[in-house]
Structure 1
Amino acid sequence: MQFPPLSSGILLRRYKRFLADIQLANGEQITIHCPNTGAMTGCANVGDRVWFSTSDNPKRKYTHTWELTQTQTGDFICVNTLRANQLVQEALKNQWISELADYQHILPEQKYGSENSRVDFLLKSDRLQDCFVEVKSTTLLTENGVGMFPDAKTERGQKHLRELTKIAGEGQQAVIFFAILHTGIDKFEVAKQIDPKYAALLENAQHQNVKVLTYKVEIQLENGKPQGMVLSKKL
């Protein structure tokens, strides 16, 4: 997927979950919208470079949106959580995810399950059982170089695992898809120490034939400036 035109500045602070102050190259300080309500551990360090898009919607109070963090060690992190599903949908349409390449119909945001959930994608095929795909964006990089999910306790994520496990138990296909949005991550583990209940539910889900897929993002650069990104590497 291609980014809208991006500009950059240096992060001064992130606050109130939805806001961040950055300093532009000319010294001007501006406030931008942060579309990530999570902990963003390691993704919002003072001094990191922030890449942001600009909206022409006159009704927006904050016209700039934080898209990427470029860390002081050179890694890129997509912090806009909306991009994860867009990336996966693009990959599904182009059949870049080999395990899911045989599904012709991609239906986003479908209601399902007994806990009133919405699955990110329902995949259909004339030859195969329906496949329910839940996407989780992963940005937490630990000190030992391992990427982990979740970065905070997630009751919503627990619910999704219960729903997928039930779907798999009924004989349909169920997938939990970890989209690795941090270029510094080359290995992945579940964060048992952060949310042991999520880890236990995921282990049980796998025993019930819920498939786990992990794909990593590649940032496409031109003269050092991000132009786009693609899910290209299976971990």
Structure 2
Amino acid sequence: MKFSEPLVEGRLIRRYKRFLADIRLPDGTEVTAHCPNTGSMRGCQPENARVWLSESNNPKRKLKYTWELVETRPGVLACVNTARPNAQARQGIDAGVVVELAGYAACRSEVKYGGEKSRIDLLLSGHDSRPDAWVEVKNVTLDEDGAGYFPDAVTTRGQKHLRELMGQVAQGERGVLFFVVNHTGIDEVRPADHIDPTYGRLLREAVAAGVEVVAYRAALVNGEGDPSGSLALTEAIPVNLGA
């Protein structure tokens, strides 16, 4: 997927109150940007990091800028906008990049499901030979020595989603956990047992129960050499569940 307008480069001053970030633009102006990320953003807010913002011309918006990308170390980018992965996943499926989810005729979003009253990110239906696929999408940006870890903070919501996917599998449907890896330095995905051991245990339990897990890395373009910048999924990478 491409951004509709060129991104604006700046330098990170600080992130605070979870949803706010102060950014210094190249001309020295300081602006406050919306930070659409409820996680800890561990590893994604280095001091004085280069960042890229999308800009809105909507006069009704309180904040003009949204924080999209960050350079976590020289030449390595991460997308911190957690509103992006669902669209990235859907476009990757539509384009045939995600081979595990090819062949479905229809895709719906935010469909109610499960005994814990959840809403699925993507519901794929209309396959000639396979059951419907209930797809939960997660954004992976926590990098530790080339391995991507999820989650970056304890997530009771994520734990609930694993239970819901197991419930769909028990009913004869496909339950799929889809890791969108929005970090160009990550080569594999692992459960973050050192952060949320309960999630790691449930993930392994879910896989044993038949839940499928896939991970696809995005090629993040910040606009340098590209007029708008993009976030397209390009390749599958391994998921390592460990012991």
* TM-score > 0.5, shorter chain as reference: yes
Q: Which residue identity does 1:3 align to in structure 2? A: F
RMSD: 1.3
Query: 1 CA distance for matches of 2:63 and 2:175?
Result: 38
8 A Cα contact 1:47 1:72, kept in partner: no
Counterpart residue number, 2:241? none
The verdict on how the C-alpha distance between 1:194 and 1:221 changes in structure 2, with shifts beyond 3 A counting, is closer
Counterpart residue number, 2:229? 227
Number of aligned residue pairs: 234
Distance apart, 1:207 and its partner CA: 0.8
Query: 1 CA distance for matches of 2:25 and 2:178?
Result: 36
| TM-score between the two structures when normalised by the length of structure 2 | 0.93
Identity %: 47
What are the superposed Cα offsets for residues 53-92 of structure 1, whole Å, 9 maximum, x if unpaired?
Answer: 1111111111110011123422111111011001001111
Counterpart residue number, 1:123? 124
| TM-score between the two structures when normalised by the length of structure 1 | 0.96
Counterpart residue number, 1:155? 156
Q: Alignment partner of 2:124: what SS?
A: strand
Q: Alignment partner of 1:91: what SS?
A: helix
Counterpart residue number, 1:54? 55
Q: Alignment partner of 2:62: what SS?
A: coil
Counterpart residue number, 1:213? 214
> Which consecutive unaligned segments of at least 5 residues does structure 1 have?
none
Distance apart, 1:223 and its partner CA: 3.7
> Which consecutive unaligned segments of at least 5 residues does structure 2 have?
238-243
Q: Alignment partner of 1:31: what SS?
A: strand
Matches within 5 A, 1:24-103: 24-103=25-104
Q: List structure 1 segments (4+ residues) > 2 angstroms apart after TM superposition.
A: 220-226
What are the superposed Cα offsets for residues 86-113 of structure 1, whole Å, 9 maximum, x if unpaired?
Answer: 1001111122110111111111111000
Distance apart, 1:224 and its partner CA: 4.7
Q: Which residue identity does 1:101 align to in structure 2? A: A
Q: Alignment partner of 1:71: what SS?
A: strand
8 A Cα contact 2:215 2:236, kept in partner: yes
The verdict on how the C-alpha distance between 1:89 and 1:126 changes in structure 2, with shifts beyond 3 A counting, is closer
What are the superposed Cα offsets for residues 155-177 of structure 1, whole Å, 9 maximum, x if unpaired?
Answer: 00000000001111111111000
Query: 2 CA distance for matches of 1:10 and 1:178?
Result: 28
